[in-house]
Structure 1
Amino acid sequence: MDPSERERARQRDAHLGARSKGDPPGRADVIASWRRVSAAGVDPGGRPRIAPLDEAEVQRRRTHHGLDRITSELTPYLQSVVDGGHLVVVTDADGHVLWRMGRPGVRRFADDLGFVPGSEWTEGNVGTNAIGTALVLGEPVHIQGSEHFVETHARWGCSAAPLRDPWTDEVVGVVDISGPRTAMHPSVLATAAMASRLASMELLERHRRSLEELRTGSGHVLTRVSSPAAVVDRAGHVAATSGLLTQRRVALPDDLQPGVVHLHGIGDVTAEPLPGGWLLRGPTESPLGTRAVLDLDGEPRIQVVAESGPWTRRLTPRHAELLLAIIGAGDGGLGAAALADEVFADPARVVTVRAELSRLRRVLGGLLLTRPYRIAPSVSVEVRLPATGAALLPGASAPVVVRARERLP
């Protein structure tokens, strides 16, 4: 054991032995973390209290916030780190390991520590570690050897930096570089922080492109509205405005649905869903409701009619099947497993269903609600079917389609 690690071990033993009898020497941020995890009841000789997520849930979380696309962008920048024998990890904002990239030897080492896909590396679950402590502090952190709270982690070193989405100002994950203690150096922290910044810049650029697409695609909407109005994306960034807003962003409720809503600093407005965002209209005497038609009489498409005017989007057969099942379930909606059963006759296909619904929500926006999946209650919806069962989504074998065909001539 090198002298630096021997000193870290001595400081950790002093904390575990004395607890509240004064301040042991050492880094202030590490000692504060030791106090937090001690108070949380983490056992320094124990195992994680929370089991890893299953594969389906890991896959669902990978698609959230576009993290699946971010990792492909980071890979070329971090290949030299992997070649140097380190493990590169990306977690979600809850500390769950979503990706690991490294050589077989370091992956096996990580497996022995329980550092596996789906595992939760928060302070409350595994004690002081770079991922969990970075999430608490909101800043890059390096934890070396016996600075870890759990004894078995003393063989490990890690540097982690929070991944922040600059568009929403939310922490959406963590970029972590880890490896055996003897192979780690605090300078690796700069690499983790750089990777986090690169990922944030990529997120920002994607949001900007999406806002420009929203501005280009919905500018005509404002010309149809007589009252002051604005088009905003799902995070409230203003794409276009006609007398309603002067600021560049508005605070939208997390659970925004079509209809009248009160916005701080603005007052009551009527929200109408648009592909990729919302139309916000100033007060009118009698606002019309939103109406949607799932048209399956021919090539599947959805037609949405609101006071600002109609819009139509073509649907893939799979999205049409999902919408047919969701609409048929009524206000109660359906969970992912139930939808998988309706579409694939296999309730275990939740990963595929959630990925498809994530893409569908990018088209429908606030029309489609989650947990469970259902059409917003303020939207009047109908299904337009062909004259014969044979003409309904030809070639589809989804149980929900088969049942619908049986009800037609």
Structure 2
Amino acid sequence: MNVARLAAVDAAQAARVLSEVREATLAGRRARIAPRPVIGQSWERMLRSGLDPERDRRSGVLSEDEVRYRRARSPLRQVLPVLREGLLSVADVAHHIMVVADAEGRVLWREGSRPVLRKADGLGFQLGADWREDVVGTNGVGTPAVVRRPVQVFGGEHFVRSQTSWTCTGAPITDPRDGRLLGVVDVSGPLETMHPATLAWVESVAKLAEARLRELHAASLDRLRAVAAPVLARLDGRALVVDRDGWTVAVSGMPYVRRVALPKSLSPGRRWLPVPGSCAVEPLAGGWLLRAEDDVPAGAGSRVVLDLARPGRCELTVESPAGSWSRELSPRHAELLYLLAEHPSGRGAAGLAEDLFGDPSRTVTVRAEMSRIRRYLGDVLRHRPYRFHENAEVEVVLPDDPRDLLPQSTAPALARRRAAAGAVP
């Protein structure tokens, strides 16, 4: 049964069907109609975490000052005009609201129909509220952030009973440069106001927002490139100029690298970076000048921590005697690095393609992604076969429940590991 179409034709019947499915499934009985896979999998995560579906659980709401602070720092503020133009005019007429949350599930912007905003207040869906999936259950903000794709949650598909009169449709907005999750845009309202086309509508606007972010980044790199050109022309030796996030705008005396992994807090002075190694760091307007010095071997003595403990938010940290840095990983890079950690002796492109796609012939995709990873990992990652440096200590931090390992991943190797974990008594 197509729940979306049923909701559009007969909201009352849809509500009854979804309520029956929810009651039966959460009670451990076989439902007349199985929940949609994305919903069923979310419910399983909630049950494993011990979340009570009968309890209206809420986290502390951020102060107004903290909301303003997060807004000022969020890249999503740059695409609010795109989101408003694409969503608000229709949302207000259709008695919906638009909600924009950051990568941590905190509601930073909320606009639209005033009556619906008041109803949202009653659900705790207010500015500064925490709508992560593991806090308030299956919903249109937290669940898309975990599975990294658009999700529509109809009435009784919400895990927590108090939300079952509500329907929401959310799409993740990712940094188009590296796949990092920036937040989620959501359109919400009463069940009877929703339409099956809402999912495609919200997804398309989220894609427009990502395209706008891509344009803004290209413009900022062009501005920094104009500053970098005369600086590099006066220098001898190897050097490069990067923006504040490590994206390269110009190089001199060395091969081009697309991005340099920078520590979260970089300051001028002598530093070690995966590329170019030991270097002098000097500030430029909008970026950094990195002047290479004597190289320090990147892999030897390094400690690599692959943190997969938080569903939907994976991080890599590399520590060495010369310095350390961290980087949030895209879902694909998290998959690949986990698979390499599982195979210390190395894994070829065909083996990784089999692990990821069930098709060993898809080596072109694997090699392209591994090339991107090696650009920021440097000598910490070897190839032929792909593997971590033999002298690097590699630690993988897993979720408390191994069935929550990279839940957004459809890779056969990851699915087998989650299934094996679920089969252990």
TM-score of the two chains, using structure 1 as the length reference: 0.66
Q: How many residue pairs get matched? A: 284
2:215 paired with 1:205: yes
2:66 paired with 1:68: no
Equivalence for 2:104:
94
> Judging changes above 3 Å, is the alpha-carbon distance between structure 1 residues 22 and 156 closer, same or farther for their aligned structure 2 residues?
closer
Contact (CA 8 Å) 1:244, 1:282: kept in 2 or not? no
2:115 paired with 1:105: yes
Equivalence for 2:251:
241
Tell me the CA shift for residue 62 of structure 1: 0.9
Mark the runs of 5 or more structure 1 residues left unpaired by the alignment: 286-409
The one-character-per-residue Cα deviations of 1:249-281 (angstroms, maximum 9, x if unpaired) are 222233333223333354222222212111111
Aligned ranges 1:7-406 → 2 under 5 Å: 7-18=17-28, 25-78=34-87, 79-264=89-274, 266-283=276-293
- Opposite residue 123 of structure 1, the aligned amino acid is E
SS in 2 for 1:67: helix
Name the CA distance, whole Å, in 1 between partners of 2:253 and 2:172. Answer: 38
SS in 1 for 2:164: helix
Tell me the CA shift for residue 244 of structure 1: 2.8
Name the CA distance, whole Å, in 2 between partners of 1:22 and 1:85. Answer: 32
Tell me the CA shift for residue 70 of structure 1: 1.6
SS in 1 for 2:27: helix
- Opposite residue 42 of structure 2, the aligned amino acid is S
SS in 2 for 1:62: helix
SS in 1 for 2:196: coil
Tell me the CA shift for residue 188 of structure 1: 0.4
The one-character-per-residue Cα deviations of 1:213-252 (angstroms, maximum 9, x if unpaired) are 0001232111232221111112222111111332222222
Tell me the CA shift for residue 93 of structure 1: 0.5
SS in 2 for 1:2: helix
The one-character-per-residue Cα deviations of 1:129-149 (angstroms, maximum 9, x if unpaired) are 011110000110000010001
Equivalence for 1:356:
none
For the aligned residues, what is the CA RMSD? 2.1
- Opposite residue 67 of structure 1, the aligned amino acid is L
Contact (CA 8 Å) 2:173, 2:206: kept in 1 or not? yes
Name the CA distance, whole Å, in 1 between partners of 2:235 and 2:12. Answer: 72
Q: Which has the larger radius of gyration?
A: 1
Tell me the CA shift for residue 24 of structure 1: 7.7
Name the CA distance, whole Å, in 2 between partners of 1:93 and 1:264. Answer: 27
Q: Single out whichever of 276-285 and 95-104 deviates more from structure 2.
A: 276-285
Identity of aligned residues (%): 41
Name the CA distance, whole Å, in 2 between partners of 1:92 and 1:275. Answer: 28
Contact (CA 8 Å) 1:227, 1:284: kept in 2 or not? no
- Opposite residue 235 of structure 2, the aligned amino acid is V
Name the CA distance, whole Å, in 1 between partners of 2:154 and 2:277. Answer: 52
2:14 paired with 1:4: yes
Provide runs of 4+ in structure 1 moved above 3 Å: 21-24
Name the CA distance, whole Å, in 2 between partners of 1:7 and 1:261. Answer: 61
Name the CA distance, whole Å, in 2 between partners of 1:215 and 1:23. Answer: 61
Q: Single out whichever of 194-203 and 42-51 deviates more from structure 2.
A: 42-51
Contact (CA 8 Å) 1:159, 1:186: kept in 2 or not? no
Name the CA distance, whole Å, in 1 between partners of 2:75 and 2:168. Answer: 24
SS in 1 for 2:23: helix
Name the CA distance, whole Å, in 2 between partners of 1:245 and 1:210. Answer: 22
Name the CA distance, whole Å, in 1 between partners of 2:113 and 2:194. Answer: 15
Name the CA distance, whole Å, in 1 between partners of 2:32 and 2:65. Answer: 44
Contact (CA 8 Å) 1:236, 1:252: kept in 2 or not? yes
